[in-house]
Amino acid sequence: MYTYNFETNWKFESDINQVWGLIGGFKYSDWWNGVSSEPISQSTGQDGIGSKYHYVFRTKLPYQLSFEAEIVGKEEPKYLEIRATGELEGRGVWTLSQEGSITHVKYVWQVNANKKWMNLLAPILKPAFVWNHDQVMDQGAKGIADALGVKLLSY
């Protein structure tokens, strides 16, 4: 089984609370092209810890990835941690910070792929899988910028 460690950094000319509203709202299909999302269960706590969502990410390569995300840590509007299970298994951490009029978003995604064919072909195709991940994340950055009508400064 191959472990993937990704770090994505985005900068938006936007207020942190606006960006958090999209990332922390978990309705990624509303703004992220190629993503479908739906709630599975909502926690009764105000912080949302324990809430679960189902995601399907359609990729630039001819496959999609499906997983369940459970909120395991949250500090609004700066920190969100999920545990992923399903075709991807691992941990994702969103960290947001505000510097003047700029919001910096950092996403660390540490996962294993549970699709047998992906693990069999990883020695050869890992660079393509990494490229594919980057393409999906680019779509997310553009989606936030478009949804908020703000400038994407870097990704």
Kindly give the residue spans of alpha helices, DSSP state H, lying in the chain: 16-23, 116-148
Question: Which tokens belong to 73?
Answer: 């840590």
Element (H, E) at 101: none
**Domains by residue range for the chain, with CATH:** 3-154 (3.30.530.20)
Full-model pTM: 0.94
Per-residue pLDDT 10s for the chain (155 aa) are: 789 999 999 999 999 999 999 999 999 999 999 999 999 998 877 789 999 999 999 999 999 999 999 999 999 999 999 999 999 999 999 999 999 999 999 999 999 999 999 999 999 999 999 999 999 999 999 999 999 999 999 76
Q: Are 63 and 86 in contact (CB under 8 A)?
A: no
Residue 43 CB neighbours (<10 A) = 13
